[in-house]
Amino acid sequence: MQNISVENLINKGAFECPCGKTHSAHLKKAVISRGAVSLMPGFIKEYGCKKPYVLADINTVKAGEKALEVLDEAGIGYIKYVYNEKHIEPDDTSVGKAFLNFSYSCDIVVGIGSGVINDIGKIVSRMTGLPYIIVGTAPSMDGYASSTSSVIRDGLKVSVDSRCPDIVIGDLDILCKAPAYMAAAGLGDMLAKYISVCEWRIGNVVTGEYYCEEVASIIRYALNKCVEGADKLTDGDEQTIKSIMEGLVISGIAADYAGVSRPVSGVEHYFSHIWDMRNAEFGTPMDLHGIQCGIGTLLAVKGYNRLLSLSPDKEKAAEKFSSFDIDAWREKISGYLGSAGEQMIKNTRTCELYNGEKFNDRIENICDNWNIIKEIVSEEIPRYETVLNILKTIKAPVSSDEIGIPSATNPLTFRMTKDIRDKYILSTLLFDMGLLDETAEDVFCAGIDNER
């Protein structure tokens, strides 16, 4: 696909793809430039709207102060709700507060923030049927242009259908002032695409799930553009910040094209999800989503590097599958995640992972296509040192220990990742091969520091 840019992807409109789907972007406009927030009053009027409902938190309202000034100067009245908590969880309580403070005198929703604010804003927009504008305050995550929201429901981090923003405003005057750590989180979320595209392709081979090379090529392009300027990120380089923000928005469009989250998240995101779930249940440490995804990506690269030295054995895999004690495993989930693991345990009763017939089909495909799977890994997964050096260059953590999560827990966390979604990822592949437990302990137990 040529002319890959936010503007061209939006203006392309609906088109039939060789994958068999008709792709289209729900995002109507995206402006990533200096002074972009000054265009907001015109956008509001274009939609025939007069009174925004503005969502922000105590941090983002300061970063996006210019957005409110623009509304005031344009004489546009608004109702504002600002979360007072220093850290907001995207859970029932936060979503409920947004609705409790909503007024039906408002005719458009405006979010000022990034991850959580955007997720909640998209939910409010969908439930009220109102247009939605997000004013990004940091290039920190890839959900700006997606049609889903990441929320904690019944203790489990899940993606729920919400609404893609109509307009994304990325004012570089605001974005370049964001802490470098948040830009590093954004790049961490982009590095995750090395894993997600690889696993999407492997899932297609093993389970026959849908895959689109056109969408994958969009993701690879956006990722490469972000990586090119990584060495200038800590300096707040405008072009680097712009490339990261564009990459994050393009990722959302690509996921929108595919209709699934496959192009943008895989096992590396599930490390992050489990860390979030343990934080919600036990108050254990956590960090920004993209920071955690960067660490998860490094862990996943280690796992895939090891995978290349392995070979499937159908008989041994079948023996391991038949002897797997699912009840003992459910107790392990409960002990590790508490009530947050209840939904995961429910998933084990219905997912295809533990279905004997499905297992037979999968292990057959793995054995028959092992060389193809290794070729995919070799094509998509970079060298460990490459990802490690990028994270070090942007001064991002390279170990879970650095964010307060003991690396000794990584083997169990990795084993848990297979039960978050019915999605084919590295841990499910190793489970099918009967090699999950030993590989988890061998690859992750020593932590990352020993790899330096």
The set of residues, in sequence order, having a beta carbon less than 8 Å from that of 187 and lying 6+ positions away, is: 226, 227, 230, 233, 244, 290, 294, 390, 394, 396
User: 270-315: per-residue pLDDT in tens?
Assistant: 999 999 999 989 999 999 999 999 999 999 999 999 999 999 999 9
Cα 90 to Cα 394: distance, rounded to the nearest angstrom: 27
DSSP state of 91: B
Verify that 313 and 164 share a domain, yes or no.
no
Verify that 83 and 198 share a domain, yes or no.
no
Query: Is the pLDDT assigned to residue 149 strictly greater than 90?
Result: no
Cα 226 to Cα 243: distance, rounded to the nearest angstrom: 6
For residue 112, the SS3 value is strand
pLDDT at 146: 86
Asked if residue 1 belongs to a domain, the reply is no
Asked if residue 226 belongs to a domain, the reply is no
> What CATH number does residue 287 fall under?
1.20.1090
Cα 434 to Cα 445: distance, rounded to the nearest angstrom: 18
Asked if residue 307 belongs to a domain, the reply is yes
Verify that 83 and 168 share a domain, yes or no.
yes
Verify that 373 and 426 share a domain, yes or no.
yes
Cα 253 to Cα 281: distance, rounded to the nearest angstrom: 33
Look at residues 160, 178, 196 and tell me which one is the last residue of a structural domain.
178
For strand 167-171 and strand 132-136, is the pairing parallel, antiparallel, or unpaired?
parallel
State pTM to two decimals: 0.93
Query: Sign of torsion, CA 226 228 233 234?
Result: positive
For strand 156-161 and strand 52-57, is the pairing parallel, antiparallel, or unpaired?
unpaired
Compare 158 and 251 and report the one with higher pLDDT: 251
For residue 152, the SS3 value is strand
Verify that 272 and 335 share a domain, yes or no.
yes
Look at residues 178, 197, 225 and tell me which one is the last residue of a structural domain.
178
Query: Is the pLDDT assigned to residue 159 strictly greater than 90?
Result: no
Query: Is the pLDDT assigned to residue 103 strictly greater than 50?
Result: yes
Verify that 366 and 440 share a domain, yes or no.
yes
Asked if residue 325 belongs to a domain, the reply is yes
Cα 131 to Cα 51: distance, rounded to the nearest angstrom: 12
Verify that 298 and 165 share a domain, yes or no.
no
Verify that 83 and 116 share a domain, yes or no.
yes
Domains of the chain: total: 2
Cα 76 to Cα 67: distance, rounded to the nearest angstrom: 11
User: 44-75: per-residue pLDDT in tens?
Assistant: 999 999 999 999 999 999 989 999 999 999 99
Domain containing residue 423: 186-211+262-451
Contact 405, 284 (CB under 8 A): yes
> For all residues of the chain together, what is the average pLDDT?
94
Query: Is the pLDDT assigned to residue 115 strictly greater than 50?
Result: yes
Verify that 18 and 162 share a domain, yes or no.
yes
For residue 31, the SS3 value is strand
Which tokens belong to 411? Answer: 């083997």
Q: What is the four-CA torsion angle of 375, 377, 379, 385, rounded to 10 degrees?
A: -140
Burial environment of residue 305 by CB neighbours within 10 A (0 to 12, 13 to 18, 19 or more): middle
Verify that 169 and 309 share a domain, yes or no.
no
Look at residues 155, 178, 201 and tell me which one is the last residue of a structural domain.
178
Asked if residue 83 belongs to a domain, the reply is yes
Closest CA to 309 of 176, 443, 408: 443
For residue 340, what pLDDT band results from cuts at 50, 70 and 90? confident
User: 248-280: per-residue pLDDT in tens?
Assistant: 999 999 998 998 899 999 999 999 999 999 998
For residue 152, what pLDDT band results from cuts at 50, 70 and 90? confident
Asked if residue 244 belongs to a domain, the reply is no
Asked if residue 132 belongs to a domain, the reply is yes
Verify that 266 and 401 share a domain, yes or no.
yes
Asked if residue 296 belongs to a domain, the reply is yes
pLDDT at 452: 30
Verify that 66 and 156 share a domain, yes or no.
yes
